[in-house]
């Protein structure tokens, strides 16, 4: 059983930085605050561009992740490498705050998105072995298509998986709280929104996975009218 309502951000569970091995915890740090509603992730106007010399297109991100690990500085060993030739810039000690293998994982959240923002909640392998790198995406929503809810599986370099992801139109207002969940079993993954089954996949990553909660801003997509916000009320795992 795992239940998180974000009365505090426990460093034994959450790393408040986005894939920090490829830059550093300071450079990839999330902008966030905690209150009675939960975790508020924001991307303010002065938030730095993430991995500015490496990632194209430019993006700014505030995220927390429930596990972390990397190889030594100069090695290629890290989570979700986004281009060829990446090497670790800051070694990350291993933490496994919430890294389940199978179960029902649910995220309750709401988001304020402008047209150049996106939020997502997704699970990835720790990549302690290169093939343990698949992704289960609970939810992905872009502000310029805010009623298209993305769910599914990305294989990346896991040869046991295949691409099975799409964003389907739904009658939903993401500025209101909703519950995005997966029922992850050895024989497949079910995706649910507010307890309604929206997708069933007949494949399943067969290794422990951590959870990332992220809010993204894409500076090359126009002017920033208002900083986006993702409010996560609860995360649970059973």
Q: In the prediction, which pLDDT does 225 show?
A: 82
Pull the structure tokens for residue 233: 């009320």
- Which pTM value belongs to this model? 0.97
Mean pLDDT of residues grouped by 10 in the chain (238 residues)? 97 98 98 98 96 96 98 96 96 97 98 96 95 98 96 97 97 97 98 98 98 97 91 98
Residue 103 lies in a domain: yes
Residue 110 lies in a domain: yes
Q: In the prediction, which pLDDT does 202 show?
A: 98
Q: CATH number of the domain at 188, please.
A: 2.60.120.200
Q: In the prediction, which pLDDT does 223 show?
A: 85
Number of folded domains that form the chain: 1
Residue 165 lies in a domain: yes
Identify the domain containing residue 9 by its residue range. Answer: 2-67+98-237
Residue 202 lies in a domain: yes
Residue 86 lies in a domain: no
- What is the SS3 assignment for 92-150? CCCEECCCCCCEEEEEEEEEECCCCEEEEEEEEECCCCCCCCCEEEEEEEEHHHCCEEE
Residue 79 lies in a domain: no
Q: In the prediction, which pLDDT does 72 show?
A: 97
Residue 30 lies in a domain: yes
Residue 184 lies in a domain: yes
């Amino acid at each position: 059983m795992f239940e998180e309502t974000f009365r505090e951000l426990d460093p034994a569970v959450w790393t408040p930085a986005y894939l920090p091995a490829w830059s550093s915890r300071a450079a990839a740090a999330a902008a966030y605050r905690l209150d009675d509603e939960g975790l508020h992730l924001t991307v303010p106007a002065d938030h730095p561009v993430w991995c500015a010399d490496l990632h194209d297109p430019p993006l700014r991100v505030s995220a927390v992740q429930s596990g972390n690990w990397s190889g030594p500085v100069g090695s290629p060993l890290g989570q979700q490498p986004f281009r060829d030739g990446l090497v670790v810039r800051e070694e990350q000690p291993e933490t496994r705050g919430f890294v389940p293998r199978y179960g029902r994982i649910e995220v309750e959240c709401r988001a304020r998105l402008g047209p150049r923002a996106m939020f997502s909640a997704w699970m990835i392998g720790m990549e302690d072995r290169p093939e343990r790198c698949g992704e289960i995406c609970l939810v992905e929503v872009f502000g310029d298509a805010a009623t298209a809810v993305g769910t599914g599986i990305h294989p990346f370099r896991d040869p046991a998986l295949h691409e099975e992801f799409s964003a389907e139109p739904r009658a939903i207002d993401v500025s209101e709280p909703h519950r995005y969940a997966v029922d992850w079993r050895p024989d497949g993954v079910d995706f649910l929104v507010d307890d309604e089954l929206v997708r069933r996949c007949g494949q399943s990553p067969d290794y422990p996975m951590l959870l990332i909660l992220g809010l993204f801003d894409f500076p090359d997509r126009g002017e920033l009218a208002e900083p986006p916000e993702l409010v996560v009320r609860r995360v649970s795992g059973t």
